[in-house]
Amino acid sequence: MITHPRTEELAEAVALWIEQVRPTLDPRNGFLARVAGNAMHTIVRELTLGPAAEVRATEKIGEVLGRAGTFQELNAELCARIRAGELTPETPGLLAALKVIALDQLAIDQPSYRHEGSVQS
């Protein structure tokens, strides 16, 4: 059976290659290679962590809104109701849900960010 590399494996391979060639580049292209490598690592994290983060976000938003739906539907409603002032920091479960969503997104976008309550290594 022929097996193909998964998307995240391909992205990781490109990121590693960029890291290998970056030291041989002039300063400008070295910087651009660092940016490209960081983007590839973000893609890997989005592919590996993103689906579970979206499931958690959908559950948490659904709990706040009291209904089920897709992430896109629920997130759009949540944002609209916050903008309209219908949901406030006093809304039960809202801040807890937003915290879970924010921390999941930070794990993807800024994995080295140390937030309150995180384990320092």
- Segment 50-95, tens digit of pLDDT: 999 999 999 999 999 999 999 999 999 999 999 999 999 999 999 9
CA distance 27 to 102: 34
> Does residue 117 belong to any structural domain of this protein?
no
Nearest to 99 by CA among 73, 44, 61: 61
Model confidence at 25: pLDDT above 90: yes
In a domain, 72, yes or no: yes
What 8-state DSSP symbol labels residue 64? Answer: H
Angle between helices 7-21 and 27-65 (to 10 degrees): 150
Burial class (CB in 10 A: 0-12, 13-18, 19+), 82: middle
* Count of the separate structural domains present in the chain: 1
**Residue 26 in 3-state DSSP?**
coil
Specify the pLDDT at position 116.
72
- Alpha carbons within 13 A on the beta-carbon side of 25: 14
Whole domain around residue 32: which residue ranges? Answer: 7-109
pLDDT at 65: 98
| Any domain includes 44 | yes
Angle, helices 27-65/71-83, rounded to nearest 10 degrees: 80
